[in-house]
Structure 1
Amino acid sequence: MNLRLLAMILAALLAACRTNPTRLPAAGTTAGVALDTVATGLKVPWDLAFAPDERIFVTERDGRIRVVERGVLRPEPWATLAVSRRSELGLMGIALAPDFARSGHVFVVGSFRTGGDSVENRVYRLTEHNGRGGEQVMVLGGIRVAKYHAGAALRFGPDGMLYLTTGDATHPGTSQDSTALTGKVLRLRPDGGVPADNPIAGSYVYARGVRNPQGLAWHPRTGHLFAPDHGPTRLPREWFRAGRDELNVILPGANYGWPEASGDAGGPEFVRPLVEWTPALAPGGMAFYTGTEFPWAGDAFVAGLRGQRLMRIVLQPAPGTRTGWRAAAAEPLFAGQLGRIRTVVMGPDGSLYLTTSNRDGRGTPRPGDDLLLRIVHRR
């Protein structure tokens, strides 16, 4: 056996015996937290985006982009894409261009056949005309995927660039390969070009060493980029590790350790997570709270699929540390009440919105599933 591989396996076994060092103290229970139902009958909604005219764009994993307008879900899709829909594949992240009111541009990422049984993830740009999406233009393709570990969150950053997360496509070693697009956070121009100031010249790779991140969010005060990541699930190729889901601060050019390290482990060459969840939360999307109804200013929220809860993480600045942040406390919201929670997004009205994912084959559908919900304050 390769000595390096043997050392990694032994390190993983030793780490599996330790107490989770990132278990956070309770943040206290927030009073008055309630939910309003915005839309019902969605089919595996994956992501949300808000238009300047208050419409809500929702991706459904089977390829439809739906629109909620004035509190009503339109019966006809805004657009339908011919995605490959298997297990975790399909239509995923969505991001409206910062100039959407003028350009009508909507960006999505999903899984598409390339011939035979081959599938890849691609980013497409669509343009709105008369309330419908068309002019499908590929912005980026060639991202290797498998039916598991497909990613893929998509967001415009404060710098106007597109950021995309990619899973390791069940090939863990590619996460460390800087020439591969899998197991990465990518940064690209809206036209599909490579930004001149990316960490690696001529490369989309912004950060590496992640397993399957499905959320992205920037801190509203400092602009730091955060992303959760799914940990291992006892697979032999992952050395039978389990749990160790992460919340990371994403630094340009940084390495997050997968597969050599997972959770709060690994050497100084790897950036350690702020939070490790063991048992697994199975994190989906994330957002930062910027509203005024709750005492949550600057807190991070992470959706839990397997964990069936929305996690509120209280963050504090940590000057002198590599990331500049520490996680101080946590509060679970809606635990076991909604089933699987896929994403959470901060709305322009000052409210957090979230979706359930109980029709994805891993949950137990409830009446009305899947749902688009808004968190409100009830006194």
Structure 2
Amino acid sequence: MKKLVLLAALAAFSAQAQQARTLISGLEVPWDLTFAPDGALYFTERGGRVSRYQDGKRTTLARLEVRSGGEAGLMGLALEPDFPKTPHIYLCYSYSEGGAKNKISRFTLSGNRLGSERTLLANLPGGAIHNGCRLTFGPDGKLYATTGDAGNAALAQQRGSLGGKILRLNKDGSVPDDNPFKGSPVYSLGHRNPQGLIFVGNRLYSTEHGPGDNDEVNRIQAGKNYGWPEVGGTRSTARFTGALKSYSPTLAVSGLDALNNGDLILTSLKAGQLRRLRLEGDRVVSDRLLVNGQYGRLRDVAVGPDGKLYVATSNRDGRGTPRGQDDRILVIEP
């Protein structure tokens, strides 16, 4: 009986793998995938390229000069909430100026050219590892951004540091008056390296890399402390908020998006997994494995207007084993 169950599970995984197709190949570490209202797919590559894919054609919009090495480079991307009426694209990337740093900038898209950079927030802690840099807009019209601890765990608990945090900004980079810490862009603290960030209605969720145990899926709330490096996993204390879900040993959870029914979809780098989580309130009631290593490291996922999952591989990031067409953006049924 156990053998039959195992064979059925393997057949299900094989069938799922057969449903994947390659949309774009020959990429260099695609990092963030975002769909525009007109169905165009915008994405970044860590080396500095910003592209748009529409009607079967890829167009390079910009090549930024970035500090590229280790986990650093061009990372997060977000579109203006009323894009393309307001043709602004927000990017988070690494640069060098008296040391390794990250910044968040706003660019203006004109035709097929991305330019007119306006720096919103600079001097974010950066390094060879743990740069965070995921961006998303909330239903409140504010820009939310993740930052990592840049390899210095102590930063995550320091309110005066912007490392190891989730930030909340106005679209011009100023600090909202109703942020939890007056005059500070910090929205939550105690993060190690949050790599995914998505709103489902008014609820904000993040995925975060653990040190060797306790990868986390967190519900992010204003002013809360998520524990790194003091505590990890699902345990809450008087000071710290526990995760909704944790994985030990770690999978290196990364990109995050949500289906129309609110199910979370997350990717993982080390395990090469794509997972679907169903929530009831603040409980994960189902954790379904969709892909399990068939395509190597998986960096990000975006739910397309067709309801399919668009997934970026990350096999050329220095830690993977590239295959013939890598890196790629795949299309997978949920």
Matched, 1:59 2:44: yes
**Is structure 2 residue 247 aligned with structure 1 residue 257?**
no
Q: Which residue of 1 aligns with 2:279?
A: 315
User: 1:31, CA displacement in angstroms?
Assistant: 11
Q: Among residues 242, 245, 248, which one is paired with 1:275 in the alignment?
A: 245
TM-score in terms of structure 2 length: 0.93
Give the Cα separation in 2 of the matches to 1:301 and 1:99: 24
CA displacement 1:334-353 (0-9 Å, x = unmatched): 20101000011122332221
- TM-aligned CA deviation for residue 374 of structure 1: 1.8
SS in 1 for 2:155: helix
Determine helix, strand or coil for the equivalent of 2:154. Answer: helix
Instruction: Kindly indicate whether residue 39 of structure 2 is the aligned counterpart of residue 49 of structure 1.
Output: no
Q: CA deviation at 1:105?
A: 0.6
Aligned to 1:15: none
| 1:360 pairs with 2:300 | no
- 2:112 pairs with one of 131, 141, 145: 131
Equivalent residue, structure 1, for 2:301:
344
**How do 1:286-325 and structure 2 match up within 5 A?**
286-290=256-260, 297-317=261-281, 325=282
SS of the aligned residue for 2:129 comes to: coil
Residue 229 (structure 1) aligned with residue 208 (structure 2): yes
What is the match of residue 145 of structure 1?
126
Separation in 1 of the partners of 2:38 and 2:318? 34
| Residue 54 of structure 2: aligned partner | 69
Structure 1 unaligned blocks of 5 or more? 1-25, 233-241, 291-296, 318-324
Contact 1:312 1:333 in 2 (8 A): yes
Q: How does 1:175-214 map to 2 (within 5 A)?
A: 175-214=156-195
1:325-376 deviations in Å (ceiling 9; x for gaps): 1111211122010100001112233222111000101000011111111223
Aligned: 1:246 with 2:216: yes
TM superposition shift of 1:131: 1.6
1:161 lines up with 2:142 in the alignment: yes
Once the 2 structures are TM-superposed, how far is the Cα of residue 152 of structure 1 from its aligned partner?
A: 1.4
Q: Percent identity?
A: 43
Q: Does 1:80 align with 2:59?
A: no
Contact 1:169/1:182, CA 8 A, preserved across alignment: yes
Instruction: Give the distance between the partners of 2:141 and 2:13, measured in 1 at CA.
Output: 35
Residue of 142, 152, 174 corresponding to 2:155: 174
Q: Which residues in structure 2 correspond to 1:361-376 (within 5 Å)?
A: 361-376=318-333
Distance 1:261 1:375 in 2: 36
Q: Which amino acid aligns with 1:307?
A: A
1:330 aligns with 2:287: yes
TM-score normalised by L of structure 1: 0.82
Contact 1:36-1:376 at 8 Å conserved across structures: no
User: Which whole-Å deviations, capped at 9, do the CAs of 1:38-67 have from their partners, x for residues lacking one?
Assistant: 111111000012223322111000011012
User: Which has the larger strand fraction?
Assistant: 2
- Change in CA separation of 1:111 and 1:59 when aligned onto 2, cut-off 3 Å: same
Aligned match of 1:285: 255
Q: CA RMSD in A?
A: 1.7
Q: Which runs of 5+ in 2 are unaligned?
A: 1-8
| Equivalent residues of 2:235, 2:241 under 8 A apart | no
1:344 and 1:51 map into 2 onto residues whose CA distance is: 14
Amino acid in the other structure paired with 1:46: W
Whether the aligned pair in 2 keeps the contact of 1:188 and 1:195 (CA below 8 Å) is yes
1:47–1:58 CA contact under 8 A, matched in 2? yes
Q: Report if aligned partners of 1:126, 1:137 keep a CA contact under 8 Å in 2.
A: yes
CA-to-partner distance for each residue in 1:224-266, whole Å, 9 max, x for gaps? 100011101xxxxxxxxx2210000001100001111122346
